[in-house]
């Protein structure tokens, strides 16, 4: 399939994991096994859009800062073009394969389709809880869901938007807001069924384990472009991790920036394919 380099596909044409930066399409069904577990994550549409506007420097595309842009009539905001035909309003639904300007009926059907397709929709703002649900869904250990935060702006550089601005962004992304609220409610129901105290205990255990990794790896958070880093982040606005323990593979992988981690996994995958299938 055109979306995956041939050298990364086994002869069967099916992959065990398909992840990272892709827009959902029917082709995904073709490359995955029939018993695949489908997982995605949603994020509060206000913080998502503000982050997207900043990350892709949309102020240069639209020639206006976000704080000024939102003062325009809502009708104008809804007509804004997507950056590179990929990034803009209602980004989550777009990434899930849906087009802009859906009717209310279309939106309800879309949310129903997403609920039927995905075994778990995680919530970015409740990530630790979501990871506990994920680990039980996949029969994983707590060690399997330990992570170091990546690609996130440091608190001191994040913008604190006025309530009126947040409300306008929410209206501009109203389809995503409905999507988010639906799965936030579903998440809360899942936590209640799991057991609130049990969830509290497991989240505390996960956070404690993460702290142990931080200490054991000798982690020090630094600015993403710090000159002492072997692997730098794309920007100094985000944090990166300097390690005193560079020999432990878990520490190494947990600290890698996103792109370097993906490339490391890709190289390992290619090595396995050559060994097991003779891919060249």
Residue 2 placed within a domain? no
pLDDT at 280: 60
pLDDT at 160: 87
Residue 7 placed within a domain? no
- Mean pLDDT, consecutive 10-residue stretches, the chain (280 aa), reads 72 85 83 93 97 90 92 94 92 96 95 98 99 99 95 79 95 98 99 99 98 93 82 78 85 90 90 82
Residue 66 placed within a domain? yes
- Is 263 in the same domain as 186? no
- Is 158 in the same domain as 208? yes
User: What is the residue range of 239's domain?
Assistant: 218-280
pLDDT at 3: 66
Residue 14 placed within a domain? no
- Is 131 in the same domain as 142? yes
pLDDT at 261: 92
Question: Which pair of structure tokens corresponds to residue 228?
Answer: 């002492």
Domain boundary among 198, 217, 236: 217
Q: Domain tally for the chain? A: 2
pLDDT at 53: 93
Domain boundary among 194, 217, 240: 217
């Amino acid at each position: 399939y055109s979306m995956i380099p041939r050298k990364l596909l086994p002869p069967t044409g099916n992959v065990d994991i398909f992840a990272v930066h892709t827009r959902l399409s029917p082709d995904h069904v073709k490359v995955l096994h029939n018993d695949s577990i489908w997982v995605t994550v949603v994020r509060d549409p206000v913080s998502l859009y503000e982050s997207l506007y900043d990350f892709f420097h949309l102020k240069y595309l639209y020639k206006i800062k976000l704080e000024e842009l939102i003062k325009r009539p809502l009708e104008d905001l809804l007509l804004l073009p997507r950056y590179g035909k990929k990034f803009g309003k209602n980004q989550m639904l777009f990434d899930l394969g849906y087009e802009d300007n859906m009717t209310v009926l279309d939106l309800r059907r879309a949310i129903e389709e997403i609920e039927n397709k995905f075994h778990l929709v995680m919530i970015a703002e409740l990530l630790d809880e979501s990871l506990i649900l994920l680990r039980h869904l996949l029969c994983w250990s707590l060690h399997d869901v330990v992570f170091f935060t990546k690609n996130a702006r440091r608190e001191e550089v994040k913008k604190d938007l006025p309530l009126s601005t947040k409300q306008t962004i929410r209206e501009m992304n109203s389809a995503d807001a409905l999507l988010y609220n639906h799965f936030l409610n579903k998440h809360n129901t899942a936590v209640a069924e799991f057991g609130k105290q049990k969830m509290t205990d497991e989240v505390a255990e996960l956070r404690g384990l993460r702290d142990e990794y931080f200490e054991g790896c000798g982690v020090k958070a630094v600015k993403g472009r710090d000159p002492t880093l072997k692997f730098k982040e794309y920007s100094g606005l985000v944090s990166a991790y300097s390690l005193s323990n560079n020999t432990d593979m878990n520490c190494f992988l947990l600290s890698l920036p996103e792109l370097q981690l993906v490339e490391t996994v890709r190289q390992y995958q290619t090595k396995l394919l050559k060994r097991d299938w003779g891919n060249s």
